[in-house]
Amino acid sequence: MLGKLLKYDLKAIYKPLSIFYGIVIVSMFLSHYFDAIDTNGFTFFCREFFRGTTVGFSLGAIINNAMNIWAYFRQNLYGDRGYLMNTLPVSRNTLLLSKFLTALITSLTIVIIGVIAIVLAYGAALNLPDFINNSLALTFQIILVFYLEIVFVMQCGISGVIIGHKFNYNKIALSVVFGFGIFVIANVLTIVLAFIWSCFDSNLSWLFDSSTIIPDLNIMQNLLTAGAIVYAVYIAGLYTLNAHLLKRGIDLD
Amino acid sequence: MSGLILKDVSKTFAGKRVVDKISLTLDQPGVYGLLGTNGAGKTTTIRMLLGIITKDSGEITWNGAPVDRKTVNFGYLPEERGVYPKVKIFDQLMYFAELKGMSRESATSAIQKWAKRLKVEEYLEQPAEKLSKGNQQKIQFMTAVIHDPDLVVLDEPFSGLDPVNTDILKNIIIDLVRQGKFVIMSAHQMATIEEFCTDILILNRGKAVLQGNLKDIKSTYPANRVQIDTNESIDQHLKNFKIENSKNNQYTLKITDEKSAHELLQKLVDHKVQINKFEIMKPTLNDIFIEKVGANNEIK
């Protein structure tokens, strides 16, 4: 049943996203095309314009994806559709898992397409291919942390919807406050953890002391690994919290 | 024990007990009617039964085991609209059918069968928002029964339907019972409940005020009306009766006991009045409802 549910959830989320993907890919090719031909006033403008749309719509896709997943989750479980969704022979955990996997998959494709598009659009100008070749592991880690942060933000939103609904039916503002609150609390906690770590490891003192020199690549990589672990723990924690809250039932008004 | 049993089920919202120790038993196929005023607890009872909201206490079992939507094959027609306005009817029916465990082939065949029966074949390729309220209700009904559920819960099933479509739906519900389905129906049309339901539960402010077999309930109430159809005016013989309705020599009278009705019949016969119909009637469900719940409450 998870497979069928996932198929429909992905279809619903990818439908609006496909517009963003289309614009990103077309913009990427056009910026690449204008970059390859002689630069004059018009082609320069076109290249910069399409570079801008590549980046803009890549970021737009991330925001659109998050908003769609939150809205879709809310409609499915708490809106009018909730009366039918909540009587399907599918456990709430499966409903939640399907939405979680949808967030993982759609975010992954956005990050992959976005990174490829930006590398191709800006590659020549910023020597991005060289950077990637020279620091492949670091690049991968940066992308991984960025990806996990997107998923984490989505989980914050889902938790916000669930907790907000428990406190006040159908008041979206309360869901937004709870979602944002969870995001802020988690980030403050991350900073506190990093600060505690820096007290025991002098290599990390630069994080909280602007007079010290930024460390070498290895320390950056360690920090990114730690960041990835922290985000993964947060995501798992929020998923467990969401599953626990949903298990208690959904009070549709 | 087979069937559905609710035992002492309660629910409190924000300190207010909206369902208070409700019990009911459906041990054989049939239609069970839930009646009550606004806020009486009907919808909350239905939602606890379906597992949409959690109960605070009590037991809900299906064939002896706790109700779980993975093990009980439910069909639910909510009072609210649950159709997707922008999505084609066929696609959303397929969506729910597949998520209810049907294969694409069997779902397609079931959609065609039900669409034909409910006369909505021509709307299958249209989005729901283009359909009338009545047709949307029929589509919603299809989502409730398409997967051949064992237990069908219908919350205001005739809402928005014209008389022709009401009749179609009534016949389908009768067929569902013939096929051995258990149906729980909440409706505010007393005549509908009276027509369908073998058993009823009347709720008032979260408490059960009357429940049981409808025939048995009615048999405990004395006759309170007489309907008479004659070929001439009989007003002069009805001075001691309260006339509820009179039109074209058809009368509905209130009576206090059956004896007074028999005396009236004798009187009419003695006066050689040609009587086409003389029927001593038991109180209607509406009468019983008003007596139990109070005439001041709005019926819903």
The DSSP code sequence of chain B is --SEEEEEEEEEETTEEEEEEEEEEE-SSEEEEEEEBTTSSHHHHHHHHHTSS--SEEEEEETTEE--TTTS-EEEE-SS--S-TTSBHHHHHHHHHHHTT--HHHHHHHHHHHHHHTT-GGGTTSBGGGS-HHHHHHHHHHHHHTT--SEEEEESTTTT--HHHHHHHHHHHHHHHHTT-EEEEE-S-HHHHHHH-SEEEEEETTEEEEEEEHHHHHHTSPP-EEEEEESS--GGG-TTSEEEEEETTEEEEE-SSHHHHHHHHHHHHHTT--EEEEEEEPPPHHHHHHHHH-TTSPB-
Partner-chain residue, chosen from A84, A250, A252, that has the shortest CB–CB distance to B143: A84
Cβ under 8 Å to B: A residues 49-88: 80-84, 86-88
Q: What is the CATH number of domain B222-281?
A: 3.30.70
Specify the pLDDT at position B257: 83
Give Cα separations from A128 to A25, A116, A117, A122, A132 (angstroms): 18, 11, 12, 7, 6
Return the ∠ at Cα B41 (arms to B39 and B42), rounded to 5°: 110
Inter-chain CB proximity B47 and A252 less than 8 Å:
yes
Give Cα separations from B65 to A15, A62, A91, B62, B98 (angstroms): 41, 45, 17, 5, 26
Q: How far is A19 from chain B (nearest CA, A)?
A: 18
What residue in A sits closest to B140 (Cα-Cα)? A84
According to DSSP, the residues that pair with A13 across neighbouring strands are none
* Mean pLDDT of the region A63-74: 92
At B7-61, the pLDDT tens digits run 999 998 878 889 999 999 888 899 999 988 878 888 889 888 888 888 889 999 9
Specify the pLDDT at position A124: 65
* B195 C-beta neighbours (distance < 10 Å), count: 14
Residue ranges per domain, chain A?
1-127, 135-253
Q: How far is A249 from chain B (nearest CA, A)?
A: 5
Q: What is the ipTM, given to two decimal places? A: 0.72
Specify the pLDDT at position B298: 45
* Mean pLDDT of the region A239-245: 92
Specify the pLDDT at position A182: 93
Inter-chain CB proximity B84 and A81 less than 8 Å:
yes
Q: How far is A90 from chain B (nearest CA, A)?
A: 6
**Comparison of pLDDT for B206 and A136, the residue scoring more:** B206
Specify the pLDDT at position A223: 85
Q: Is the pLDDT of residue A163 over 50?
A: yes
Q: How far apart are CA A237 and CA A240, in angstroms?
A: 5
Specify the pLDDT at position B176: 92
Residue ranges per domain, chain B?
4-218, 222-281
Ranges of residues in chain B with a pLDDT under 50 are: 296, 298-300
Contacts for A128 with CB less than 8 Å, ≥ 6 apart = A118, A119, A122
Q: Which of A94-98, A184-188, B231-235 has the lowest mean pLDDT?
A: B231-235
Specify the pLDDT at position A42: 82
Partner-chain residue, chosen from A8, A87, A250, that has the shortest CB–CB distance to B74: A87
**Comparison of pLDDT for A130 and B57, the residue scoring more:** B57
The two structure tokens encoding residue B144 = 């409730």
Torsion-angle region of B78 (φ positive above 0: left; ψ -120 to 50: alpha; else: beta): beta
At A7-51, the pLDDT tens digits run 989 998 998 899 999 999 999 889 888 887 866 788 888 888 998
Specify the pLDDT at position B299: 44
Chosen for mutation from A87, A166, A246 (greatest number of chain B CBs closer than 10 Å) is: A87
Q: What is the CATH number of domain B4-218?
A: 3.40.50.300
Closest CA to A19 of A48, A53, A52, A45: A53
Is B143 in the A-facing interface, judged by CB distances under 8 Å? Answer: yes
In chain B, which residues have their Cβ closer than 8 Å to the Cβ of A248? 54
Record the pTM. Answer: 0.77
Is B84 in the A-facing interface, judged by CB distances under 8 Å? Answer: yes
Inter-chain CB proximity B51 and A91 less than 8 Å:
no
Specify the pLDDT at position A253: 60
Q: How far apart are CA B7 and CA B4, in angstroms?
A: 10
Q: How confident is the model at residue A213 (pLDDT cuts 50, 70, 90)?
A: low
Please provide the average confidence, as pLDDT, over all residues in chain A: 85
What residue in B sits closest to A81 (Cα-Cα)? B82
What percent of chain A clears pLDDT 70, i.e. is strictly above it? Answer: 91
Partner-chain residue, chosen from B81, B101, B143, that has the shortest CB–CB distance to A89: B101
